[in-house]
Structure 1
């Protein structure tokens, strides 16, 4: 009984706070100091350190496949709309690691089914045309109307095309604005061209996690297995797929280099 009472007394003693504080300071870190960034006042508004790729006024940060074509992508009321005659749209600058925000809208009167229903995509790193010269080469996250439209699951919206099935289908109705928030880390290569570290992607579609730090097995080709080839920073590309569906619109595109 005496021993039990002594044990209670020992636990009720006041801790040596000065000693504890000194111990805690051994694991405190003060450098490097993170840079200050002014966040947007509301969701989707670019922060102070963002590279604004499209603010609704012009396409100066982009280039067309067919620049001699007078029928460029249409910019009106803060929105740009696909014109397949002008080809896909590619950033003039190249990027390696970044956080990307993008908003898009599939027309309310969309027609077609399967892959022919609002088909587009974002090439998170665009490498040019493949060896045949016919198909786009790079790492594509899919844009497609899958609100009430079935297709192969590694080709629906939110997928890393033909490679990674999305964790959820968060598609909104055609006619409604939809969002992508993506964190992209480009691959690294050794001097001899072998892969040093894989590309990875985390993506939220309409606020829902659809890719969770997925490590890619290579590019996302339409035909054949994925593979890597050595490259560095690459442009971002918005696809003008060319299907008969009504054109897709985009707005408020910005990124933060990481």
Structure 2
């Protein structure tokens, strides 16, 4: 779209009360994603349907969970190997300088619950103003974005496999309200340097499936195609992204996803 197009889009946004952010409605010029006719961060990709949910689903940590944030302590976290510097305010963990926050513990297959919100009144425009992310194994991002009333490229919306796959629906509630994520993640399986089973994820956003057994193309990239490296760790930290916006987190816990005893492959006679 030419510059005049961007001006028109901004005018429409102000009239309609909807933010039309970076990349909305235009091609990105990035590589085409395998299996679909869309580029990475393609603004012409169909927008997920917008739905209204019952709001955040707050779940207390079960007995076998690792509590990552209980509203009082950053003991589970680190900033670049040093002390965690994010701010705790009124029981919430606020994204803050100097950078991303990572767990001290590493995880493989994991169930993760947390709640987040963007404080009311902050201007949001596309990827700016209300952006963060959660990285499984420090590599695979599930986007955290204030997507209610805020349009951007679909593979960058809330619960998108960032740069790869949009959510099934846009289930984000109004700004200032708490949102919930429930994630089940399985890391990739390798045979030597060959991927035999890609990383897999399911996400519920405010109690609604927005990703269901989806496969990652590889570790998350920005403006590039994701691809699996020949060597890959077995476990990694959970990372919260600092994107310059004061996103708030609470009630964060994880638990391992063990393998079930599946029994014989075929029924016994």
Q: Displacement of 1:43 after TM fit?
A: 4.5
Are the equivalent residues in 2 in contact too, given 1:168–1:210 (CA < 8 A)? yes
Are the equivalent residues in 1 in contact too, given 2:58–2:115 (CA < 8 A)? no
Q: Deviations over 1:45-91 (max 9, x none)?
A: 0111111111111111110138379xx211133211011x2211000
Q: Which one of 63, 77, 80 corresponds to residue 78 of structure 2?
A: 63
Q: CA RMSD in A?
A: 1.6
Q: Deviations over 1:115-148 (max 9, x none)?
A: 103110000121xxxxxxxxxxx21010111110
Unpaired runs of at least 5, structure 2: 1-56, 258-269
Query: In the aligned structure 2, how far is the partner of 1:109 from the partner of 1:76?
Result: 17
Are the equivalent residues in 2 in contact too, given 1:105–1:174 (CA < 8 A)? yes
Which TM-score applies when normalising by structure 1? 0.74
1:252 maps to 2:251: yes
Corresponding residue for residue 87 of structure 2: 74
Corresponding residue for residue 121 of structure 1: 133
Q: Which one of 92, 98, 104 corresponds to residue 86 of structure 1?
A: 98
Q: 1:112 to 1:86 in 2, by over 3 A?
A: same
Q: How does 1:200-211 map to 2 (within 5 A)?
A: 200-211=200-211
Are the equivalent residues in 2 in contact too, given 1:66–1:87 (CA < 8 A)? no
Corresponding residue for residue 28 of structure 1: none
Which TM-score applies when normalising by structure 2? 0.71
Q: Deviations over 1:13-62 (max 9, x none)?
A: xxxxxxxxxxxxxxxxxxxxxxxxxxxxx951011111111111111111
Q: 1:241 to 1:66 in 2, by over 3 A?
A: farther
- Size of the aligned set, in residue pairs, is 199
Q: Displacement of 1:221 after TM fit?
A: 0.3
Q: How does 1:43-192 map to 2 (within 5 A)?
A: 43-65=58-80, 67=82, 72-83=85-96, 85-126=97-138, 138-191=139-192
Please, which moves more after superposition, 156-165 or 60-69?
A: 60-69
Corresponding residue for residue 237 of structure 1: 239
Q: 1:240 to 1:66 in 2, by over 3 A?
A: farther
Query: In the aligned structure 2, how far is the partner of 1:257 from the partner of 1:187?
Result: 15
Unpaired runs of at least 5, structure 1: 1-41, 127-137
Query: In the aligned structure 2, how far is the partner of 1:194 from the partner of 1:105?
Result: 39
1:227 maps to 2:227: yes
Query: In the aligned structure 2, how far is the partner of 1:66 from the partner of 1:150?
Result: 35
Secondary structure of 2:155's counterpart equals helix
Are the equivalent residues in 2 in contact too, given 1:198–1:217 (CA < 8 A)? yes
Secondary structure of 2:114's counterpart equals strand
Q: Displacement of 1:165 after TM fit?
A: 1.0
